[in-house]
């Protein structure tokens, strides 16, 4: 709840106007109404549900106008491929990128978080040793560059699939977000951790050995000299420099 409260605050509080986008869900009405009501309970000025379940709706000038007027856009969970396959390249997508540049809040939970980066994880084995290329990647919404976000991270044993994603391009930063945990990314590309659990950052820039480009995609991954950071609430990370940040005041 602390995370949703922060979303309301960042979206302008009583002066704010949050648009809830439940495109990730095959049955979007329930989650859309639930988050709308949560945001209103937490004191947002206005909250509405945007009906975007098809590419036709993502071209609707009325919907685009509502995004342009919102101070915050919130993506619910579900299937991240629904988000990108329905919104990718549409006027709604363009409006989102513009609003983000203008300083509006763009937030998401679960699939809604995964879809934020320019590369996203679509699926992959959990609780398994990392394999070379079994983690399925796809282009994301491009709201956060040079990153790949995974979620339900510790709870679903997903470090193997994030390591596999990073092995394919060690210059990309892997961000594994636990349940009830969030990152708040500022315009300076520094993020701060919110919530009760931790964020795992995987920095592959010093990788010396990897077999990721070799044959046999489902054979076990070799990967050395990965730098790993575990960051709980208050800690942060500078995505530009790759440096973890201690809580302010420490």
Residue 196 lies near a second copy (rule: CB under 8 A): yes
Q: Is 9 a known active-site residue? A: no
Determine the length of the chain: 250
In this structure, are residues 145 and 129 in contact, taking their beta carbons and an 8 Å threshold?
no
Interface residue with a second copy among 144, 163, 182, 194 (CB under 8 A) is 163
Nearer of residues 187 and 209 to a second copy, judged by Cβ: 209
Q: Is 145 a known active-site residue? A: no
Site string for a second copy, 53-92 (x = CB under 8 A): ----------------------------------------
Interface residue with a second copy among 30, 65, 218, 225 (CB under 8 A) is 225
* DSSP-based three-state secondary structure for 117: strand
Q: Is the dihedral of CA 24, 80, 161, 184 positive or negative?
A: negative
Nearer of residues 116 and 159 to a second copy, judged by Cβ: 159
| Cα–Cα distances in angstroms (integers) from residue 153 to residues 25, 178, 185, 243, 250, in the given order | 20, 5, 18, 21, 27
Interface residue with a second copy among 30, 228, 238, 241 (CB under 8 A) is 228
Q: Is 102 a known active-site residue? A: no
The catalytic position among 70, 110, 147, 164 is 110
Residue 128 lies near a second copy (rule: CB under 8 A): yes
Residue 188 lies near a second copy (rule: CB under 8 A): no
Residue 154 lies near a second copy (rule: CB under 8 A): yes
Residue 129 lies near a second copy (rule: CB under 8 A): yes
DSSP run (H or E) holding 31: helix 29-41
- DSSP symbol at 168: H
* DSSP-based three-state secondary structure for 241: coil
Q: Which residues contact 238 (CB under 8 A, 6 or more apart)?
A: 188, 189, 190, 244, 245
Q: In whole angstroms, how close is the CB of 158 to a second copy at the nearest point?
A: 9
Residue 109 exposure: Cα atoms within 13 Å on the Cβ side: 19
Interface residue with a second copy among 77, 130, 140, 174 (CB under 8 A) is 130
Q: What angle do CA 137, 138, 139 make, to 5 degrees?
A: 135
List residues with catalytic annotation. 110, 128, 152
What residues make contact with a second copy under the rule CB under 8 A? 127-130, 153-157, 159-160, 163, 178, 181, 196-198, 208-209, 211, 219-233, 235, 244, 246
């Amino acid at each position: 709840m602390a995370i949703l409260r922060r979303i309301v605050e960042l979206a302008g509080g009583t002066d704010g106007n949050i648009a809830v986008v439940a495109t990730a869900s095959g049955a979007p009405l329930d989650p859309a109404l639930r988050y709308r009501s949560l945001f209103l309970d937490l004191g947002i000025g206005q909250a509405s549900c945007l009906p975007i379940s098809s590419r036709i709706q993502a071209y609707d000038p009325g919907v685009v106008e509502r995004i342009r007027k919102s101070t915050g856009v919130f993506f619910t969970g579900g299937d991240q491929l629904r988000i990108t396959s329905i919104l990718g390249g549409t006027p709604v997508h363009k409006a989102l990128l513009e609003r983000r540049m203008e300083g509006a809040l763009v937030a998401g939970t679960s699939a809604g978080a995964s879809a934020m980066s320019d590369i996203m994880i679509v699926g992959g084995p959990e609780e398994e040793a990392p394999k070379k290329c079994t983690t399925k990647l796809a282009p994301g919404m491009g709201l956060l560059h040079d990153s790949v976000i995974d979620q339900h991270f510790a709870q679903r044993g997903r470090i193997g699939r994030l390591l596999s994603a990073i092995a394919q391009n060690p210059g990309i930063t892997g961000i594994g977000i636990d349940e009830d945990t969030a990152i708040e990314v500022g315009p300076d590309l520094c993020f701060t951790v919110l919530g009760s659990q931790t964020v795992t950052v995987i920095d592959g820039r010093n990788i010396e050995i990897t077999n990721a480009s070799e044959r046999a995609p489902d054979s076990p991954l070799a990967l050395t000299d990965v730098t790993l950071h575990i960051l709980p609430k208050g800690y942060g990370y500078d995505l530009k420099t790759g440096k973890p940040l201690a809580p302010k005041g420490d």
